[in-house]
Amino acid sequence: MRALLQRVSEASVTVDGVVTGRTGPGLLILVCAMPGDDFDTVRAMAAKISKLRIFQDPEGRMNLSLTQTGGGALVVSQFTLAADTSRGNRPGFSRAAKPDEAETLYLQFAHCLRDLNIPVETGRFGADMKVALVNDGPVTLWLDTENP
């Protein structure tokens, strides 16, 4: 599983002109299921993200986790995180999980974050989404379960 985390002051996702999800201070999480991912992979990724100390403490140091700040998460499916750009100029996406499997894992990931008491909103799997965000910091991290 791959995830791109962006610490945000706010973020939203819109589908067909309708906001389907938003968060205030917290994380925008772009997530991609990969072949071989399963519920254990999803649960481990959610747990790791919930504990990352990437939010500022009162002294301004990155020392607090999402669960400690009470921030929310906007989770958006993003199969293009699996892009293979090693040959030519057109990315290949065969390293992403098949759509039916990917959707299940994406929804499980959002559910696992909720189980960790993180307020979660989502985009719509497979839709053409418009994502807006105010990156805080900026702080952007890449997580990959293949290379933890």
Q: Are 77 and 97 in contact (CB under 8 A)?
A: no
- 22 pairs with which residues across the strands? 12
**78 included as an active-site residue:** yes
Catalytic residue among 68, 80, 93, 140: 80
Catalytic residue among 79, 108, 109, 122: 79
Structure tokens at 24: 């205030």
- 12 pairs with which residues across the strands? 22, 132
Give the Å distances, CA to CA, from 67 to 49, 82, 113, 130. Answer: 9, 28, 10, 27
Catalytic residue among 14, 23, 78, 122: 78
Structure tokens at 134: 């105010």
**14 included as an active-site residue:** no
**140 included as an active-site residue:** no
CA distance 37 to 32: 10
Query: What positions carry a catalytic annotation?
Result: 78-80
